[in-house]
Amino acid sequence: MSGRAPVTTDQARIDAFLFKRLVPLDRERHEDAGLSSHRSFSEYHFHWLPITTAEVPEASRHFPIVLADTQTPMLAVVVGLHRRQSLFIDRLGRWTGGYLPLYLRQMPFQIVRIRSGIAPAQPALCVDLDSALIDQNSRDKIIDGDGVSALAQDAVSAAAEFEQGIFATASFAQALERSQLAVSLGAIPEAADCLSLRSLKAVSPLRLHSASPQMLAPFVTAGAKPLLDACARSLAHFEPLRRLQERHYADREAHLRPDL
């Protein structure tokens, strides 16, 4: 997947999307690691962000929901119309969208399942030591006693919530990929002109509307039909994205012109 950084630990090799140097948080080695007081997302520009199925109801009110162009199917929200662009991160690194996905909310942490020898993989809290959100000079440390500090708790809680939703989300995304309800964005009128996003797929409202009971049965049985409906409705947000893109270009041009 584009944007991933391979990271090696003593136990496993981890693919960490949008992370630079993700390592298991260790009380002895990282007791002096601090968190920046300025929570900037400037380094996390990308045209989509992973989400879990639990986020779909809220995320679908703000962004188009798609299947990301990854080896394993993954749900994502589209936040930019060009690659490695986010229309919801301003010049100061502030998030301006109506909903902040868990994947960004957890930064600079992520919970990763790491296998040690032949034992089952266990979840481990990891931290991106090269993130701009890490400030070694800050008095606000990540570790406080035997746990994480109050300042880090919100991000760590978001990491735990995201990790808990991974398996259900992967199952839904894989079922969607197999169902033939998801098609390339180039085949969906709402997104047909998004040439740089053609590798993404989304639930086709037309196919969903005409789907047979047999095609929908796995989702109905799993109680996931509302997720399909929400994903299909979310494609209406491509038009607001286009308008936001136009304002983005206009603001950038005005910023560059000294006479304005």
The pLDDT assigned to 10 comes to: 42
In total, how many domains does the chain have? 1
- Return the exposure string of 52-63: e unless at least 16 CB atoms fall within 10 Å of the residue's CB, then b: bbbbbeebbebb
Give the strand order in the sheet containing 201-203.
48-50, 75-78, 65-67, 201-203, 182-184
The pLDDT assigned to 136 comes to: 86
Q: Over 150-177, what HEC string results? A: HHHHHHHHHHHHHHHHHHHHHHHHHHHH
| Pair 147, 165: CB distance under 8 Å | no
Across the range 183-202, mean pLDDT stands at: 92
pTM for this entry: 0.89
Q: What span, in angstroms and rounded, lies between the C-alpha atoms of 230 and 202?
A: 11
Across the range 175-201, mean pLDDT stands at: 93
Judged against a pLDDT cut of 60, whether residue 116 lies above it is answered with yes
* In the chain, % of residues over pLDDT 70: 91
Q: What span, in angstroms and rounded, lies between the C-alpha atoms of 179 and 113?
A: 29
The shares of helix, strand and coil residues in the chain, as percent rounded to the nearest 5, are 40, 20, 40
Return the residue matching tokens 């391979």. 6
Judged against a pLDDT cut of 90, whether residue 137 lies above it is answered with no
| Confidence tier at 115 by pLDDT (50, 70, 90) | confident
User: What is the tens place of the pLDDT at every residue in 232-254?
Assistant: 999 999 999 999 999 988 876 66
Judged against a pLDDT cut of 80, whether residue 146 lies above it is answered with yes
Alpha helix stretches (DSSP H) within the chain? 56-59, 102-105, 150-179, 205-210, 213-221, 225-233, 238-256
Judged against a pLDDT cut of 70, whether residue 30 lies above it is answered with yes
Q: What span, in angstroms and rounded, lies between the C-alpha atoms of 27 and 7?
A: 20
Flag the least confident range among 7-21, 186-200, 226-240: 7-21
The pLDDT assigned to 1 comes to: 42
Q: What span, in angstroms and rounded, lies between the C-alpha atoms of 234 and 100?
A: 16
The closest alpha carbon to 203, from 182, 174, 230, belongs to 182
Supply the range of the domain harboring residue 78.
4-256
Across the range 34-48, mean pLDDT stands at: 92
User: CA-based angle 134:13:116, to the nearest 5?
Assistant: 105
Across the range 65-75, mean pLDDT stands at: 92
